[in-house]
Amino acid sequence: MQSSKIKRRKFLLVSIFALVLSLISVWYFRFKSATNKALSYPTDLSEICDRKTMIDIGTAYRKLTGENTKNYLEELLLRDTGMIETNLKMSLRTKVAEDFKTGNTVLIDGWLLSKTEARQCAFLSLSEVN
């Protein structure tokens, strides 16, 4: 009798632990997916360019600058931004506007882009590779 209570208690604890781990992993992958989407999607540029063009811009930018890893680009893009998806999108748009104001731009394949937009395209091009 004592043994079945212990087994039941262990079962409940293991079940609760598994549920908590499942919820954490679902939250993490949902958050990570939203972050990756925001980082690889230059909002204003996407209104005038198709996906292939943005990937080509990103590839050219990576060759030009040597910013060739997703982790490094993510670090640069997330610098001074909010981590919540809507805040992240707004922060990136603000960074794009600030880049144009301060002349932090780059010319790639005839496109005058903010560095933030170019980095987002580079992040997208790396996302497509993997």
Predicted confidence (pLDDT) per residue in 52-64, tens digit: 999 999 999 999 9
Pick the more confident residue, 45 or 116: 116
The residues, any chain, with a CB within 8 Å of residue 77's CB and separated by 6 or more, are 39, 92, 116, 119, 120, 123
Per-chain mean pLDDT for the chain: 82
Residue 5 has pLDDT above 60, yes or no: yes
The residue ranking higher by pLDDT, 9 or 125, is 125
Contact assessment for residue 88 and residue 35, using Cβ atoms and an 8 Å cutoff: yes
* Cα radius of gyration rounded to whole Å, the chain: 21
User: Which of 88, 80, 77, 93 shows the shortest CA–CA distance to 126?
Assistant: 77
User: How high is the pLDDT of residue 46?
Assistant: 82
Q: Given the structure tokens 């932090």, which residue do they identify?
A: 104
- Torsion-angle region of residue 81: left (phi > 0), alpha (psi -120 to 50) or beta? beta
In the 8-state DSSP scheme, what is residue 111? E
